[in-house]
Structure 1
Amino acid sequence: METRELRYFVAVAEELHFGRAADRLGIAQPPLSRTIAQLEHRLGVALLVRTSRKVSLTDAGAVLLAEGRAILGAVAAAERRTKTVDRPSLVLAAKAGGSSELLAKLLDAYAAEPGAVAVDLLLCEAHTWRPLLDGRADVAILHEPFDSTEGLDTEPLHTESQYAILPASHPLAGEAQVRMADLPDLARWPEPDGSYLPGPGVEVHNLTQLFQMIALGRAAAVMPEVVRVGLLEGLAAVPVVDAPKVTTVIAWPPHSRSRAVADLVRVATGFS
């Protein structure tokens, strides 16, 4: 199996659409379809179920997607580390605007460790787990259940309640607590392919946009308690008693053999 074939298959499996996958890969759709068909023929199993309306994964396809992500991520990470062998470092992915206090403590504590290497931050607008799968990052700070940790090794750091973020002028802003059913339509975040699920609520793609829309009275959100720190003027945070708790985890690919990653994880779990 060639790396190119795996890359093509993973793109189709993630997009579940040959046209979008071809656009993502920068190739025409016919050679993409031929490559997937040839891969299925050589493996002797169907990887995808194709109909005129949709594409879905078979059980075998789901297995190859998980394995393919790990392989491609390992290859990309190996290339990146080889190119930077003379200046050892690791890449830490985190959500832009989130976990700032945790990141500051973690980076300071790790920098004091003997043998600490340089840490490059990769700040993501959404889907912070993806850089771990494609090799752009060595380790990430993720938030369950919002971020996918499937196929990753993780250690929990802390668990917190969720709060409704509302305009300070909203009738619910002065309440001691609220329930999910009490809240107005919540802002919607993009899916991994960049599309939005249908439904009410404004579409947002980063925290800056979200908070501005809330301040303008156009949106509401339910977010971990940590967002109360440094909450912008004009916004209010109210506990949501029936919202699921959020667990912040540090995550890394299971194939990682990096001493620097192991040290960073040890430091993170030591003070969390």
Structure 2
Amino acid sequence: METRELRYFVTVAEELHFSRAAERLGIAQPPLSRAIAQLERRLGVTLLDRDRRGVALTDAGQVLLDEARAILDATAAAARRTRRAAAGTNRLTLVTKAGAGHELLQKLLDAHAAEPDAAEIDVVLCGLGDQARMLRDGRADAALMQRPFDSLAGLDSEDLLTEQQVAILPAGHPLTMRTALTMAEIGDVPGLPVARWPRPDGTYEPGPGPEIHDQSQLAQLIALGHTMAVLCASSRSWLWGAHAAVPVTDAPHVTTVLAWLPDNRSRAVAGLVRTATRL
């Protein structure tokens, strides 16, 4: 299979419409249809069901879609890493989700900068759950992630900090007078539902709480008294005067880790990992 064919197939599978896919790819529809048909003949399977109602993925097509995305990400990552190696610059990209504990990040950056021949670090802020994807497609060399929220499958990691969780509430709410709360108490507060975070596939668990897309949205909704959230204790660093934090005694502890791909041979990444190990 050629990467061009896989790119064509992924686009059709995402659009489920040949005309829109052809427009997105910048080609005419007939050669796109021929390329997909040739791919199906080569594999000996039907990837797409086509009828008057439209286009739908078969079970085989869903499998190839998942595999093709991984292949295209890997080829893009290989190109990025190759160009970076050819440039010969002593720098790396560290990705972390926006709103993650900046005190720990600053401590890591300061400790690393004090090392002899330390690499320059570009910090990139990402959305929820994007770190692993950016590591695998070559946009990042290392990532700050949180267990148990982020999946570390297929990654190497070094633990940096383990901390309890706290409930972030609107200031002045009766629960802010408490010294501690439990998960059961948090889940049964009239008029103050718990915010819902996206799952790895981008969907949300059903529930009354608002769907959260980023930290700014969450902070605003809590301040307005429309929701609450359970976050790691270091989240106190970004609280406004309109927020309050109360420890949640039975919430699972959160461990922030430095993660990287196990086959990474970058000296810059190795230096950052050594710093993290000492921390």
Same fold (TM over 0.5): yes
Q: Unaligned stretches of 5+ in structure 1? A: none
Corresponding residue number in structure 1 for 2:261? 253
- Map 1:130-149 to 2 at 5 A: 130-149=133-152
Could you tell me whether the CA contact under 8 Å between 1:73 and 1:133 is conserved in 2?
no
Rg larger in structure: 2
Q: Percent identity?
A: 55
1:68-104: CA deviations, max 9, x gaps? 3772363243255156x15332100011121201111
SS in 2 for 1:228: helix
The aligned residue for residue 2 of structure 1 is 2
**Retained in 1: the 8 A contact 2:168–2:222?**
yes
Which sits farther off after the overlay, 160-169 or 175-184?
Answer: 175-184
Q: Secondary structure at the match of 1:132?
A: helix
> Does 2:230 align with 1:227?
no
- Number of paired residues? 270
What's 1:156 paired with?
A: 159
Write out per-residue CA displacement over residues 160-219 of structure 1, whole angstroms, 9 at most, x where no aligned residue. 111111112222112122122222421123345655444321122111221111011011
Native 8 Å contact 2:48 2:56 kept in 1: no
SS at match of 1:173: helix
Cα RMSD of the aligned pairs, angstroms, is 4.0
Which residues of 2 match residues 101-180 of structure 1 at below 5 A?
Answer: 101-129=103-131, 130-180=133-183
Shift in CA distance, 202/63, structure 1 to aligned 2, threshold 3 Å: closer
Within 5 A, what are the aligned runs for 1:188-267? Answer: 188-192=196-200, 194-267=202-275
TM-score for the superposition, normalised by structure 2: 0.76
Q: Equivalent residue of 2:174, what SS? A: coil
Determine the C-alpha separation between the residues in 2 that align with 1:242 and 1:220: 17
Which segment drifts farther, 63-72 or 237-246?
A: 63-72
The answer to whether the 8 Å contact 2:47/2:57 transfers is no
Q: For 1:266 and 1:215, locate their aligned partners in 2 and report how far apart those are by CA, in whole Å.
A: 40
Q: AA paired with 1:213?
A: L
The 1:119–1:199 alpha-carbon spacing in structure 2 relative to 1, beyond 3 Å, is same
SS in 1 for 2:176: coil
Contact 1:13 1:65 in 2 (8 A): no
Q: Is the CA contact 2:46–2:58 (under 8 Å) kept in the aligned structure 1?
A: no
Take 2:233 and 2:23, find their aligned partners in 1: how far apart are those partners?
39
Contact 1:70 1:253 in 2 (8 A): no
Q: What SS does the aligned partner of 1:229 have?
A: helix
SS at match of 1:159: strand
Pairing 1:87–2:93 present: no
Per the alignment, do residues 252 and 45 of structure 1 end up closer, same or farther by CA in structure 2, a change over 3 Å counting?
farther
**Residue type of the partner of 1:149?**
L
Question: Bigger CA drift: 73-82 or 5-14?
Answer: 5-14
Provide closer, same or farther for how the CA distance between residues 270 and 181 of structure 1 changes in structure 2, counting only shifts above 3 A: same
